[in-house]
Structures are given as C-alpha cells and as structure tokens.
Chain A
Amino acid sequence: MLSRRDFLQVAAATTALIPAGWSQAFAQQRLTQSELLAFSPVGNVTLLHIADIHGQLVPLLFREPSINLGVGESKGLVPHLTGRTLLDHYKIAPGSAAAYALTSEDFTSLAKSYGKLGGLDRIATIVKTVRAERGDRVLLLDGGDTWTNSYTAMLTKGQDMIDCMALLKPDAMTGHWEFTLGAERVKEIVDKLGFKFLAQNIRDTEWNEPAFEATAMFERGGVKIAVIGQAFPYTPIANPRWMMPNWSFGIREDELRANIEKARRGGAGLVVLLSHNGFDVDRKLAARVSGIDVILTSHTHDALPEAVKVGKTLLIASGCHGKFVSRLDLDVRDGAIKGYRYKLIPVFSDAIAPDAEMAKQIGKIREPHEKMLREPLGTADTLLYRRGNFNGTLDDVIGDALLSERDAEISLSPGFRWGTSILPGQTITREDIYNATAISYPAVYRMTMTGARIKEILEDVADNLFNPDPYYQQGGDMVRAGGISYSIDVGQKIGTRISDLTLLRTGKPLESARDYTVAGWASVNEGTQGPPVWDVVMSHIAKKKVVSPKDGGRVRVVGG
C-alpha cells in the first residue's frame, strides 16, 4: 500500500513530463482533490454523468483495453485508439496519471504508483462538491449497468446499489444489465426508485405500447432540459430474453425523432440523450437523428478525455467501474449550446476523500461479507485482466478452469467488458472472481458441438462485434474461446472472418463433422444446467495456487 506521501512524490515526479494536453489537473504539481476537481465554470447548466459502474462500490484496478479495433466508418477513430496511439492523439505523457487512467500502457508499474480508482464514496464527494458550487444548475445522470455484477449486488438483487444510489440522488437513469434481474424485479425497483428510469426504446411485445417513460423534463439554471432515455437496444439478444419476455427493445430511430419533437414542442431548450447504445451506435445515430444537443454514451466502457462532436451534437464517454465522473458545463441560450467546457474527472481514490455518509452505507452493506470476499484463493503469476476485443488473461484463466474442472476440449466464455484487474504477485480473492462472473444466469454447461457449429458461433459473435454498420453490432467483446486457436480477419464478412481453427490439445485442425466437448457459461437459453461459474473458477484457482493463463496468444488477428 502506498502512503499518501509516496503517492504525492510519485505524482510530482511524473507530472514534469506532461505537456499541455488532456487536463489542467495533470499539468499541476501533484494529484490532489482540489486539482482533480478544478474547473472553471461555464454557462447555466452542468451535466454530471456516470455509467457502467457494474455494481462496484469500492475502489479497484481496471486496465483499459490494448486492443479495441474499429471497423467501417469508425476505423482509426476514437474510441478505437489504444495505448501509445491514444496518448499521442490526446498529447498525454506516458507514465502520467492520465496515461494510467486511460490506457493499458505500463499498467502494472503505474498501478503501484497511482493506486486504485473509483469508489462510490469518492464519487459522492465529487457530486456534492459540484452541487455545492453550481447549485440549481446541476443534473446528475446515470447511464446504467449500475445494479449488477458484484457479489453484494447479486446477493441483494441490486438493492445494495439502489440504496447507495439513493444517497447520490441521480435525476434519471437508463439500463441494460438491470434487466437481467428479471422484469418483475425491475418493475418493483422502478416503482420505488425516487427518480426516473427512462427508456424510449422499450415496448411491450403484445400491444407495442411504451413500457417505460421516454422523457423527463427538468429545469436547471433557467433552462428547460429534456432527458430522453435509451436502454441497450439489444438486451433481449445479448442477454437472456426469457428474463424479459414481454419487452421488445431496438434502436427505434423514428420513435426517438418523435420524442425529440415532442420535447422541443414542450419548450425544451436542451435535449439530452441518456444512452446505453454504445459509442459507435451513438455516433451513427447523432448523424441521422437531428435535434439532440448532447449524447451521454455508455455500454462500450470508453473513457474519452474530450467531447466528440458530430454535427451539432456533443458525445461524452465517461468510462466504467466508477473510474471517472464526467462534468459538462453548458452555456444554453435560445434553444442551443453557445459554449461548453468538459472534463473527464478521474476518481483517484488516494487523492479524493470518501464522503462519510456514502462510506457508512457501503460499510454497512459489505461488513457481513467482507471476510469471505477477502479470502485468498491463490496468487496471480501475471497481470490478469479482461477488457479488450479478444481473450484477456483473466478470461484465459476462466477458460482453463472450464476445461479442467469440466473435463472439456473447448471452452467458451462471454466477452463481457467488466471485471477488475489483478496485478502480478497479487493475491486473488473470492471478490476478484465474483467481480468477473457475478450474473443471474451463471450455469456452466457441458455439451458436444460439431466443429462446424463452433465455427458458426465464432463467426456469428464476430459479426456482432465487427459488422461495419454499428446498428448491426450487438454484443460485448469477442467470445473468449479456450482450447482452440484461430485467425480472424475483422475486415471480412460473416462466414469468412475466422480461419485456421486448431484444437490445442492435438495441434490438429478442427474437423467440421466431429463432435467436441464444450464447456461454457452465460448461455442465454432458459433452463441451462450446471454449477455456477464462480464455483468452477474458484475450485480451479484453489488447486493451482499460482495462476497464469496456460495458452496465451490463441487468437491471431490478420488483415483488417
């Protein structure tokens, strides 16, 4: 653990390298709360945005992706820049606090210097500080993926997050993973939420009527603000449809246009889309649907230190897991944005003081489980992480666990974008595994599939990630495949991206008609049988003691 004094010295030593660029906070001499929050206010409205917290109440390590390929019109554009390319693009010095927060470059050594980010108690401090400074001009909006994917969130069906968010008092939210709590639970929560749950793009399947409110109107700083919610359009495809059988989603551009028109007719001087579309979908949507002033993006977990402008629309990307809070100040006059200032505030947990009220609530939630969650299972031999288009090292460990614990030739693990990172030499705790696996459909199935079927699955998922038209992209990152290697050419069409499929156990090419034993989890099919994935992974780690992925480099990216 780094002492505060060490921390300041590290920060001071690295800041000398920082040229004018991302954020004034990092051009200063050291990381302090006041510097991190420093902001020269503009205009009459302040939007605060958080998204994709994934149930994480306490500070954590999260390594940003080293591979995030853009296809079609997004090729070579943010958020598809990673590592050094991203640093150069935003003129951020390698080794700086900003470089650590935004990229995977030197993650292990920088993590030791700068420590963990996030924590809802630190976020509460930031929100309260901005509210104190800006008074009635502030709107706090939550982009969703808030209520799930930690142990306590799973145990309480999201109640831990709901109780903490009640203290943070957002003005509205939308959702995605929320729906994996099941429709009944979602309705029960939304009825008592105390703020708006907005989703203009969800209809009931029988009568095609709106299932949620589309828009909420607010008055802030004398401006009438319409916030329109857009839930993740492909929730019933990417996640189990049987959990929300009576709701139909989709992008629903025409309905959105109608909602924007209605909001403008109702006197809105500012229209904000609180979106869980994912960045590329929002970029396309901004170019096709006029009248949106700001899109607060989420889902794809991108953290961008500057707003992206599409026509007259500003796109904001606020990262994930509570690593960042976005502050967007707007000068809104005569129904348009006349000026703005934006800052992606990194929540460095050693620099920002926890809010006492929120810290107490988090403590109350975690106390009964803290001992169990901290229980060591083994040690990480190498850096373990998930996020990236293809297998992360933590995914490979999960894959190895599925293969050995379920005696399978091939493993399939979902391309979720969430889960905390574990440093080399660090103890792997039960909480680390829950943070990567806690879902409401965790059964590990074991079944046979033909080589042809496996290829079909890989092609199908690859098209959901690399279809050049973002409206046809559906899910998370690429399915993680263990026990096999393959080549992928992301620039090809469905059916021709995947080649050289090889079974690692034999070194032989996969045969189309042969049956292979496959273990996997997070099946979207109802009634999937098998032990929960966390038990399988914990059992594997407990046996191995020191864990590193067995078969790294199993995906070769060619062409593109």
Chain B
Amino acid sequence: MKLSINRRQMLTIGAGAAALGMLGLPVTPAYAKNDSDEAIAKFTGGKAPTAGRVKLDLPEIAENGNTVPMTVSVESPMTEQSHVTDVLVVTDGNPRAGVATFHFSPASGVAEANTRIRLATSQNIIAIAKMNDGSFYSATKAVKVTIGGCGG
C-alpha cells in the first residue's frame, strides 16, 4: 500500500494511533495532552487538589464548539474565615490549556462564575478552586465536540 503522508501526519500517527498502523490513517486523539498539567502545578504550587466541592456545569456534547456555555461554582460559606480566593479553569485538549482564572472574596457572596469557552476538539475541562486556607479542590468534565448529523 502506498502511503502518502507528510511529517506532521506521521507524528500524529506515532503519538495516538498505533492500532491503525495497517491502514495508516491519521486520527486526532480525542483526549490529547497539552500544557494543562504544568498550568495546574503552577496554580497549586505542586499540591494535588482534592476532587469535590467544585461543580462544572457544561453540556456533555457541545452544540457549537466555538462557544460552549460553562458555569463553575464552589461550595463555600464565603465568609472571612472560609472562602474561595481563586478558580483556575483549564482544558487538556486545546492548543493552549488556559481558559480563565476567576478571583473571589467574601464580598462575592457566592463562588460562581459563568462564561462561554472555545473547545477545539473533544476534551476534558478541569476547574481548580483555591481556598483561603491554602487547600485546593477540583472537578473535571468531558465535553464532546462532534461533527453532528444523522439525527435519528
């Protein structure tokens, strides 16, 4: 079989599609890795966040990858004694991981923010909340970005 693939496609095959070797068709890995680990490590100072207290409200499948509604909220009394200070949102499949960092204070009342984000492909969205006592909590949600059609 004659393969006509360029260097870039070759690398894609090498990275994510070993099982397809026979056919030689490149695929984009659905859950590719970018610099999200580094961004999280920088935010937490290397501490591993505890899963929980953070809620990511995103659709399971995006209606439009260019503008996906997202709400992030954190369970917290938001008092001087106990409140959220920052929430970092990153993705692990966009060319660059960073999405947003939200800053809160007790005056915020609730730790909740919503915006619209852009997703290049199917991937995980990760939110990390930093509390005023220096602890970190996290939530992860997978969102699929699909070609669509074939509607039943």
Interface residues of A (CB under 8 A from B): 145, 176-177, 208, 232, 234-239, 241, 248-251, 254, 278, 299-300, 414-417, 451-452, 455-457, 459-461, 463-464, 467, 469, 471-472, 474-479, 493-496, 499-501, 508-514, 522-524
Contacts and interface: CB of A to CB of B under 8 A. Distances in A.
Interface stretch (B12-20, B37-45, B99-107): B12-20
Interface string B47-81: 00000000001011111100001000000000000
Contacts of B57: 254
Given A251-B59, A460-B147, 15 more contacts: A176-B151, A237-B62, A241-B64, A250-B59, A417-B152, A456-B28, A456-B147, A457-B147, A472-B60, A475-B149, A476-B152, A495-B20, A499-B23, A510-B25, A512-B5
A452 B19 CA distance: 15
Contact of A511 (B4, B20, B122): B4
B149 A523 contact: yes
Nearest to B144: A472
Contacts of B16: 495
A296 to B, nearest CB: 17
Contacts of A234: 61, 151
B29 interface: yes
A499 B22 contact: yes
Given A248-B63, A514-B4, A456 B150 contact: no
Given A208-B69, A472-B60, A474-B61, A512 B26 contact: yes
Contacts of B122: 494
Closest CB pairs A-B (n = 7): A238-B151, A476-B152, A475-B150, A495-B27, A239-B151, A512-B25, A471-B60
Contacts of A500: 22-23
9 contacts: A237-B62, A250-B60, A414-B149, A455-B25, A463-B144, A476-B151, A511-B1, A511-B4, A512-B3
A452 B26 contact: yes
Given A414-B149, A460-B146, A494 B23 contact: no
Binding site secondary structure of chain A: loop
A459 B28 CA distance: 11
Interface of B: 1-5, 9, 16-17, 19-20, 22-30, 57, 59-64, 69, 122, 142, 144, 146-152
Contacts of A501: 23, 25
A416 B151 CA distance: 6
Nearest to B24: A512
Nearest to A509: B1
B152 A236 contact: no
A251 B60 contact: yes
Contacts of B148: 237-238, 241, 474-475, 524
Contacts of A479: 149-150
A416 B25 contact: no
B15 to A, nearest CB: 12
A499 B1 CA distance: 15
A522 B152 CA distance: 12
Contacts of A524: 148-149
Contacts of A510: 23, 25
B152 A464 contact: no
Given A463-B144, A499-B22, A512-B3, A455 B27 contact: yes
A475 B23 contact: no
Contacts of A145: 152
B150 A415 contact: yes
Contact of B149 (A176, A238, A472): A238
Nearest to A239: B151
Residue with the highest number of chain A CB atoms closer than 10 Å, among B22, B30, B142, B150: B150
A287 B16 CA distance: 35
B99 to A, nearest CB: 19
